[in-house]
């Protein structure tokens, strides 16, 4: 006789299913079963079907029974799985988070949060308990802004479907088939192991390993012409760490080699370095009223060289000393 699931297990399954039912497109019991399997929850199809039938009777969930398999979704005006007591401040934070997370989370995960984002927007449009507070929260969105530290650039155009396929393969640890064109215009087809996604200014980069290679490369998403997530999975390399990859200066075309950097810079051009240092061990020496001497341990990279050249004649006596590993 099959073991009957306990109350807690049934409750957790119900919450997981309710969270995954979309507000716009319909979803079938089979699709929900596949999502649960990908999340490590193996449940039989009939159990999921019974729960969906119950949901459609007791929640604001539509069941499209015009054809089989039946499709389910939250009714358009329903609150879904929204948090019932979001404060105006929490609603504002969710709206700000949505803008910053848009390109950093898989579209599927962003879609699963759509109920929360929608509720946050509705709250700010008209918060019933405190309309005056809501008005202040709406104003706050126009009082704060993240600004660029260099000449602002518009984000490059990413081919339709590329971000979705890349995100899906990255999320599920699946191989990725790419049609890629490099900066020189050379086009190639490749099979890669997606390991990370990073945003650098207005650009998105995929960190990956090409098939049969053990080194990582960064590919600009806007240079990917086509992408297709494979059904074949891979074991993520335990030695790879995206944070360390960044710390090694790889996004600045470096290879992790640390140097002791020393240079002299005009006080007016370099005073900000006393407030925002290059490294924790940075030392600032005032040579006179017009020049500073800066010493710091940094990762050597092409980006560092570009940064130094950007000061023009306001910088001199640049010296790099390679440090022992």
The string of DSSP codes covering 40-73 is: T----HHHHHHHHHHHHHHSSEEEE-SSSSPEEE
Question: Residue 289's domain is classified under what CATH number?
Answer: 3.30.70.120
153 located within any domain = no
- How distant, in Å, are the alpha carbons of 108, 175, 180, 186, 280 from that of 157? 21, 24, 14, 18, 37
Query: What confidence category does residue 82 fall into, taking pLDDT thresholds of 50, 70 and 90?
Result: low
Identify whether residues 266 and 295 lie together within a single domain: yes
Identify whether residues 170 and 233 lie together within a single domain: yes
pLDDT at residue 86 above 70? no
pLDDT digits (tens, 9 = 90+) for 7-47: 667 777 887 888 888 877 889 999 999 888 877 778 889 99
Most confident of 18-27, 110-119, 218-227: 218-227
Contact call for residues 27 and 21 (beta carbons, < 8 A): yes
Beta bridge partners of 319: 262
Question: Residue 186's domain is classified under what CATH number?
Answer: 2.30.30.520
The total of other beta-carbon atoms located within 10 Å of residue 270's CB is 19
Question: Residue 36's domain is classified under what CATH number?
Answer: 1.10.10.10
**Sole residue written with tokens 């309710």:** 18
282 located within any domain = yes
Domain that residue 278 falls in: 252-322
pLDDT top residue among 94 and 298: 298
pTM of the model: 0.63
Query: What confidence category does residue 2 fall into, taking pLDDT thresholds of 50, 70 and 90?
Result: very low
Identify whether residues 67 and 131 lie together within a single domain: no
Please tell me what DSSP assigns to residue 117.
H
Identify whether residues 16 and 67 lie together within a single domain: yes
pLDDT digits (tens, 9 = 90+) for 239-287: 999 988 888 888 888 888 899 999 999 999 999 999 999 999 999 999 9
Domain tally, the chain? 4
201 located within any domain = yes
Identify whether residues 235 and 172 lie together within a single domain: yes
Domain edge (last residue) among 182, 214, 247: 247
The total of other beta-carbon atoms located within 10 Å of residue 91's CB is 24
Measured between alpha carbons, how far is 135 from 207 in angstroms, rounded to an integer? 42
Domain edge (last residue) among 196, 230, 247: 247
268 located within any domain = yes
Measured between alpha carbons, how far is 99 from 245 in angstroms, rounded to an integer? 25
Measured between alpha carbons, how far is 2 from 276 in angstroms, rounded to an integer? 64
Contact call for residues 294 and 273 (beta carbons, < 8 A): yes
Backbone φ and ψ for 177, nearest 5 degrees, come out as: -95, 125
Identify whether residues 21 and 92 lie together within a single domain: no
Measured between alpha carbons, how far is 96 from 105 in angstroms, rounded to an integer? 14
């Amino acid at each position: 006789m099959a073991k009957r699931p306990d109350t807690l297990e049934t409750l957790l399954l119900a919450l997981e299913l309710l969270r995954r039912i979309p507000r716009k497109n319909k979803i079938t019991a089979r699709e929900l079963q596949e999502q649960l399997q990908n999340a490590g929850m193996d449940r039989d199809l009939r159990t999921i079907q019974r729960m969906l039938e119950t949901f459609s009777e007791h929640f604001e969930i539509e069941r499209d029974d015009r054809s089989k398999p039946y499709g389910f979704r939250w009714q358009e005006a329903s609150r879904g799985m929204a948090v019932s007591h979001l404060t105006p401040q929490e609603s504002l934070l969710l709206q700000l988070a949505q803008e910053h997370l848009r390109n950093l989370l898989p579209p599927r995960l962003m879609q699963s949060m759509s109920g929360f984002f929608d509720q946050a927007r509705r709250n700010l449009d008209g918060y019933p308990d405190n309309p005056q507070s809501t008005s202040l929260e709406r104003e706050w969105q126009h009082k704060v802004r993240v600004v660029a530290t260099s000449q602002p650039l518009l984000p490059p155009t990413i081919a339709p479907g590329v971000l979705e396929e890349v995100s899906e393969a990255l999320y599920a640890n699946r191989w990725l088939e790419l049609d890629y064109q490099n900066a020189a215009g050379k086009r190639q087809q490749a099979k890669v192991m997606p390991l990370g996604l990073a945003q650098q200014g207005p650009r998105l980069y995929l960190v990956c390993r090409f098939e049969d290679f053990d080194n990582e490369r960064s590919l600009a998403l806007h240079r990917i012409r086509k992408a297709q997530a494979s059904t074949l999975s891979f074991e993520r390399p335990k030695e790879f760490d995206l944070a360390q990859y960044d710390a090694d200066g790889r996004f600045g075309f470096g290879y992790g080699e640390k140097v002791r950097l020393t240079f002299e810079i005009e006080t007016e051009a370099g005073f900000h370095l006393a407030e925002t240092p290059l490294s924790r061990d940075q030392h600032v020496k005032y040579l006179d009223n017009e020049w500073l001497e800066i010493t710091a341990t940094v990762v050597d990279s092409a980006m560092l060289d570009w940064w130094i050249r950007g000061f023009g004649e306001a910088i001199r006596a640049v010296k790099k000393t390679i440090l022992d590993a």
